[in-house]
Homo-oligomer: A and B are copies of this chain.
Amino acid sequence: MYRTHTNGQLRADDINKEVTLAGWVQKTRDKGFMIWVDLRDRYGITQLIFDEDRSPKPIMEAASALGREFVVQVTGTVIERESKNPNIPTGEIEILVKELTVLNASLTPPFTIENETDGGEDLRMKYRYLDIRREAVRENLVFRHKVTMAVRNYLSGKSFVEIETPYLIKSTPEGARDFVVPSRMNQGQFYALPQSPQTFKQLLMIGGMDKYFQIVKCFRDEDLRADRQPEFTQIDCEMAFVEQEDVLTTFEGLTRHLLKEINGVEVGKFPRMTFDEALRRYGNDKPDIRFGMEFGELNEVAQHRDFNIFNSAELVVGIAVPGGNSYSRKEIDKLVDWVRRPQIGAKGMVYVRCNEDGSFKSSVDKFYNQEDLAKWAGVTGAEPGDLICVLSGEIDKTRAQLSALRMELAERMGLRKADEFAPLWVVDFPLLEWDEETERYHAMHHPFTSPKPGQMELLETDPGKVKANAYDLVLNGNEIGGGSIRIHDKEIQSKMFDYLGFTPEEARAQFGFLMDAFEYGAPPHGGIAFGLDRLVAILGGQETIRDFIAFPKNNAGRDVMIDAPAPIDSEQLKELHIKLNF
C-alpha cells in the first residue's frame, strides 16, 4: 500500500497520527535547516516538513534534492502547523517526515503546473498528461464525469435504457462526410463511423425499447472550424409513443435537474419561441436571452424619408443599447468599424443617441426628425440614456450582423454571466433549407424529421415554408440540444427521400433497412440529442469545449501528443486491399 491517506484528507483531528502519503512535489522551500514541500495529488495538497533537529540526516539530504514533479512517498507524523494556511482544507497541519522514498524523478516540466500556467496551447497539448495535472483542467474532467453521472441516473430513473449502438456502420452521403474504415475481410468494402446513432435509435423504437438513451461518441470528417472536434460526444435520446410536447417536457426535466444538481440553480418553466420569432426578435435561432436588446424592425418608421440606404433595404432593424448614450463619438466610430469588419460584413451603422432630456441626436439627422426618431425609440424600446444601433440590408444577413453586434455589446457590458442560466426552446424549425451551392433544398435537421401535420402538401408549392416538428434547446446563446418527431410512415419517408433528391435505388441502398422496418409496425417516435462537450462547458461556465475533453485534437484534426494520424505500413495497406493515391 502506497499511502494511508490522500493529500486532501488530513485535518487537525489527525494530529499525532502516523501516516503515509504519496504524490507529486508541487514546490519546495529550502531554508537549509528546514525544508517544506507541498505534496500534491488529485485530492489536494499537504505540506511536508523536514528539519535538521527532527529529521534524519539522509532524509534531509534527499529532501533537498527533490525537484518539481518528483513522485515521492513519505511516512511521518501529522503535526500542527506553526503558520496555518486557511486557503486549503489541510492548512492546519503538516507532516513531519521520517521516511522518504523517491518513486520516480522528473525532468523539469516544460510549463508550470499551476492554474495560471506559462505554457502556450500547443505545448500544453503536446504534454497533455502534464496539463491534466493542473487543477483547472483536472477539475473540468471531474466536472464532466459528474454531469454524465447525473444524466445517466436521471434518465435511468425515468425508465430510459442506455443501449450501445454499433460504431462500425454504413456510409451514407447525406450530411457531413463520414470517416470510413476499410474492411480487411470484405474486400473493397468499408464501414463508416457514425455521425450519430440516428437510424439505430429509430430501430430501437421500432423494436419496442420505448425509451432509449446513450452517451456516445460521434464522428464527422468536416473541415474543422474553431472549437469543433472530429470526434465528439452526444447524449442521444429517443422515445416511442410521443408527441413533441412529451419530448420537450421530458428533456426540460433533465436540463432542470442538471442545473439544480450540478449548478445549484433553480429555473422555472423554459420559455418557448418559434424559429421565426427567434430570428425576428434576436436575429438568431439560438438567442441568448440572459439579456434584452431585442430587435426592433424599423421598416415602417424609417422608409418614408429620402434616406435611400434604408428605402432600398429589405430590412431596417435596430437595438437599444442600455446606457449607450454615454459612449464617446470615438467609441461609436469604433463600433461602426467593428460591424464593418469582413467577419461581420455590414456596410455601415446608423445610430441614435437618446438624450436624458428626451431629445435625440442621430447620424441621420439630415433625413429624420425628432418625431421619427421617437418612433424608432418606441419600436426598439430605447429609454433616455440609451443608444440605438441600426443596420439595414438583406433580411438574413442584416439579422446576423445585428445579432453579432448584440452579442458583442453584451459581452463588453458583462451581460453574459457565466453563472446565470437562461434556457429556451426554439420550436417550429423549417423542414428544409436552401443550399446555394447545390441549388436545392436539404433537410435542415435530417431526412427523418417529420413535417408538421397537414404541411406535406406545402412541399409541392412552397417547400421553404414547411415547418417541421423540430426543436432546439438553447442555453445562454448556445444550441445544447436538438431533435424532432420522426417520420414513422413508409410512404412519407419515401416522399421525403424523393424530395431530397434520392433516387428510389439510392434510398433503398442506404436506408432500405429503415424503410423495411417501417412496414412492421413502427410506432410514432421522436427524440433529441445533446452535444455533451458543449453542454458541459456551458454548465461549467466556460466557452471552450477543448478544456473539457481529456485528449482533444487540434484544428487540423491531429492529436499532437500521440502524433496521429500517421502513415501505416505497406503490408497493412495491402491486407486492407487499398493503396495510397496522391
Q: Which of A43, A162, A166, A200 has the most CB of B within 10 A?
A: A166
Q: B568–A190 contact, CB under 8 A?
A: yes
Q: Is A182 an interface residue (CB 8 A)?
A: yes
Q: B130–A562 contact, CB under 8 A?
A: no
Q: Which residues of B contact A185 (CB under 8 A)?
A: 221, 223, 556-557
Task: Using CB atoms, name the residue of chain B closest to A6.
Answer: B210
Q: A165–B550 contact, CB under 8 A?
A: yes
Q: Is A69 an interface residue (CB 8 A)?
A: yes
Q: A204–B132 contact, CB under 8 A?
A: yes
Q: A562–B186 contact, CB under 8 A?
A: no
Task: Using CB atoms, name the residue of chain B closest to A580.
Answer: B188
Q: B171–A2 contact, CB under 8 A?
A: no
Q: Which of B182, B223, B559 is in CB contact (< 8 Å) with A168?
A: B559
Q: B167–A219 contact, CB under 8 A?
A: yes
CB contacts under 8 Å to B, within A105-157, are 105-107, 109, 127-133, 138, 141-142, 144-145, 148-149, 152-153, 156
Q: How far is the CA of A127 from the CA of B168 in the complex (A)?
A: 18
Q: B521–A24 contact, CB under 8 A?
A: yes
Q: A566–B163 contact, CB under 8 A?
A: no
Q: Which residues of B contact A505 (CB under 8 A)?
A: none
Q: Is A523 an interface residue (CB 8 A)?
A: yes
Q: B138–A168 contact, CB under 8 A?
A: no
Q: B557–A186 contact, CB under 8 A?
A: yes
Q: A2–B138 contact, CB under 8 A?
A: no
Q: Which residues of B contact A186 (CB under 8 A)?
A: 556-558, 565
Given A521-B69, A565-B170, residue A208 in contact with residue B577 (CB < 8 A): no
Q: Which residues of B contact A566 (CB under 8 A)?
A: 170-171, 189-190
Q: Mark A223-235, 1 if CB is under 8 A from B, else 0.
A: 1000000110100
Q: How far is the CA of A57 from the CA of B3 in the complex (A)?
A: 78
Q: Which residues of B contact A359 (CB under 8 A)?
A: none
Given A180-B181, A553-B166, residue A579 in contact with residue B579 (CB < 8 A): yes
Q: Is A314 an interface residue (CB 8 A)?
A: no
Q: A580–B578 contact, CB under 8 A?
A: yes
Q: Mark A171-213, 1 if CB is under 8 A from B, else 0.
A: 1010001111111111111111100000110011011111100
Q: Which residues of B contact A512 (CB under 8 A)?
A: 563
Q: B180–A163 contact, CB under 8 A?
A: no
- Minimal beta-carbon separation of A565 from chain B (angstroms): 4
Copies in the complex: 2
Q: How far is the CA of A206 from the CA of B109 in the complex (A)?
A: 13
Given A141-B161, A161-B145, residue A523 in contact with residue B103 (CB < 8 A): yes
Q: Which residues of B contact A422 (CB under 8 A)?
A: none
Q: Which residues of B contact A580 (CB under 8 A)?
A: 188, 577-578
Q: B208–A109 contact, CB under 8 A?
A: no
- Minimal beta-carbon separation of A143 from chain B (angstroms): 10
Q: Which residues of B contact A161 (CB under 8 A)?
A: 141-142, 145
- Minimal beta-carbon separation of A327 from chain B (angstroms): 44
Q: A181–B183 contact, CB under 8 A?
A: no
Q: A164–B217 contact, CB under 8 A?
A: yes
Q: Is A62 an interface residue (CB 8 A)?
A: no
Q: A181–B184 contact, CB under 8 A?
A: no
Q: Which residues of B contact A182 (CB under 8 A)?
A: 180, 182, 578
Q: A156–B166 contact, CB under 8 A?
A: no
Q: Which residues of B contact A522 (CB under 8 A)?
A: 71, 104
Q: Is A52 an interface residue (CB 8 A)?
A: no
Q: Which of A133, A164, A488, A581 has the most CB of B within 10 A?
A: A164
Q: Is A561 an interface residue (CB 8 A)?
A: yes
Task: Using CB atoms, name the residue of chain B closest to A249.
Answer: B1
Q: Is A22 an interface residue (CB 8 A)?
A: yes
Provide 25 A-B residue pairs closer than 8 Å at the C-beta atoms, listed in order of the A residue.
A1-B245, A3-B241, A22-B241, A24-B521, A40-B208, A69-B520, A71-B523, A106-B520, A128-B207, A129-B517, A153-B153, A164-B549, A165-B551, A167-B167, A167-B231, A168-B219, A168-B564, A169-B562, A173-B569, A180-B182, A191-B564, A192-B564, A200-B550, A512-B563, A513-B563
What are the 9 A-B residue pairs with the smallest beta carbon separation, nearest first? A132-B207, A106-B521, A189-B565, A170-B564, A2-B241, A69-B521, A183-B565, A42-B210, A129-B207
A residues adjacent to B (C-beta < 8 A): 1-3, 6, 22, 24, 40-43, 69-71, 73, 103-107, 109, 127-133, 138, 141-142, 144-145, 148-149, 152-153, 156, 161-171, 173, 177-193, 199-200, 203-204, 206-211, 217, 219, 221, 223, 230-231, 233, 241-243, 245-246, 488-489, 512-513, 516-524, 549-551, 553, 556-559, 561-569, 572-582
Known A104-B522, A164-B233, A182-B182; further 9 A-B contacts with Cβ < 8 A: A2-B241, A2-B524, A40-B208, A70-B521, A103-B523, A106-B521, A127-B516, A181-B565, A513-B562
